[in-house]
A = this chain, B = another copy of it.
Amino acid sequence: MLNEGDLIYLLDDKDRRFWLQLQKDMVRVQGLGVVDGNKIIGQEDGARIKLAGKDFFVFKATVIELMESLERGPQIITPKDAATIVFRLGLRAGDRVLEAGVGSGALTMALLNAVIPSGQVITVEVREEFAARARRNIERAGLAPYWDLRIGDVKTVDLGMTVDAVALDMPDPWLALDNIDRFLRPGGRISMYVPNTNQVADAVNGLKERGYLQVDALENIQRRIEVHPGGVRPSYENLSHTGYLVFARRPAKG
């Protein structure tokens, strides 16, 4: 059932999504105008409702729609790569993850989704304006209680705790390894996201030089498949490069 405070989207018959935070009041919805929250609260997830004379389905937002709602661009970690990072870091409820490089918070959402309610994501970001934008996105998603955002440089920050996993999205993640050595638990995992192959080489070599094991680099390509009256085929639309992913597992010291 949809409750006050939920982040929801209205889906129209052209698959467009209109977003709102449910309130017992009139709410301004971008692209739609003003909508009465009282007509939505108490409905089932996925209910069909009529608003402003048009039909919509109303759905509670989850991580995939939240990520898709952020503007695309080379600088955003896409769902395909976020899924692989979450999975190959082995994240579970209760894990504590360090993230560096917040971007617009897309990967942050995916990490949070995997470790809540008992786990935590600590994000370190140098640029205040990136941090502010990500904070808005995480708050809107209702995930702020599980998130610890710190302005700082992951190459020097003193975290004051141990983490189970580290996810780096920055141009030179290998330069953060010596500092990360202080926080990542034995047996913990690390991921790095970089766009260029020379960065893959530096990442892989930097990890191996520091004794990391199970060092793997990979690229995800995801194609949408379209079913239309004439047949089935891959989409004519963009299937482009996003970035490379590097993973490793940390041994115990000594």
Chain B residue with Cβ nearest A112: B92
Tell me which of B43, B116, B186 contacts A93 (CB under 8 A). Answer: B116
Interface segment, one of A97-105, A148-156, A225-233: A225-233
- A7 interface hit (Cβ, 8 Å): no
- A159 interface hit (Cβ, 8 Å): no
Copies in the complex: 4
- A222 interface hit (Cβ, 8 Å): yes
Tell me which of B45, B198, B224, B230 contacts A231 (CB under 8 A). Answer: B198
* Contact, CB under 8 Å: B232 / A11: no
* Contact, CB under 8 Å: B227 / A200: yes
* Contact, CB under 8 Å: B87 / A197: no
- Residue from the set A116, A185, A232 with the largest chain B CB neighbour count within 10 Å: A232
Taking the nearest CB of chain B, how far is it from the CB of A47, in angstroms?
A: 4
Taking the nearest CB of chain B, how far is it from the CB of A244, in angstroms?
A: 6
